[in-house]
Structure formats: C-alpha cells, structure tokens
Amino acid sequence: MAHKFNITAAANDQFKFDFSYNSEKIFWSENYKQKASAKSAIESLKKNAPEAITVDLSKDETGSGYRFEIVASKDGQHFVRFVASNGETMVRTETYTSKASAKNAIESLKTRGAAADVHDEA
C-alpha cells in the first residue's frame, strides 16, 4: 500500500490528518477547526517538505524556514517535527529509540509526501 495522507474527524467538530504507510502513522497533525485548513496544511507539506532542511536540535543545530527538527526527548529518545517558516509545528512523529528511525521518517515524507494521495475520511 502506498504512502498517503488521511484527513479524519477530531474532537469538538475539528479535523486532523496523518501521513501514513500501511496503516502506520508516520507523522500526524494537531487539530484544525476547519477541514479546509487541514487540506491547506497537507498541500504545504507536499510543496515544502521535499526541499526542507533537517536540523538536529539534540546537536544544538539551528535553522529557519521550513524544516524538519530532530528533538531529543527527556528519556534519551528522539522525535521529529516539521516546522513552517513562521515557526509553527505542522506535524510530528512518535518517539523513536533510534535516531536512525527518526531520520527514516523524515526521508519518507521528503521523498513520498509530494505524490501521496489524500484520503478524506472525515
């Protein structure tokens, strides 16, 4: 099964989306008040993720613009967030025990996100 974006209903008549492969969520969003906002965020990811830089905050790297940030969690694991040019987090991943797994998640969205289908399940 191919990579895809899934728009789903969230609490309080809101919407959220995820980027998944074989039913496994790789990245997921916060809630949006309007479905159009969730769709707009997906289009922004499709456009901006392929060329986005990766900043490893656990190594004190910095960056600006659209970017992937590798973040160390309190227990020594890592997660990834994709940040818009305005500094807002658009999506994030689960926490991984291996930094290599976090990098694989980034590569998945960078290389497969632009062509991924959008499924509206809301």
Q: Is 1 a residue whose pLDDT tops 90?
A: no
pLDDT digits (tens, 9 = 90+) for 73-107: 889 899 999 999 999 999 999 999 999 999 999 99
Which residue type is seen at 59?
Answer: K
> What is the percentage of the chain residues whose pLDDT exceeds 90?
91
User: Got the DSSP string for 30-67?
Assistant: --BSSHHHHHHHHHHHHHHTTT-EEEEGGGT----SSE
The structure's pTM equals 0.91
* Nearby residues of 35 by Cβ (< 8 Å), 6 or more positions away: 7, 15, 120, 122
**pLDDT given for residue 31 in this prediction:** 95
Kindly provide the residue ranges of all beta strands, DSSP E only, lying in 57-112, ordered along the sequence: 67-72, 78-83, 89-92
Domains of the chain as residue ranges with CATH: 4-115 (2.30.29.80)
50 and 116 Cβ atoms separated by less than 8 Å: no
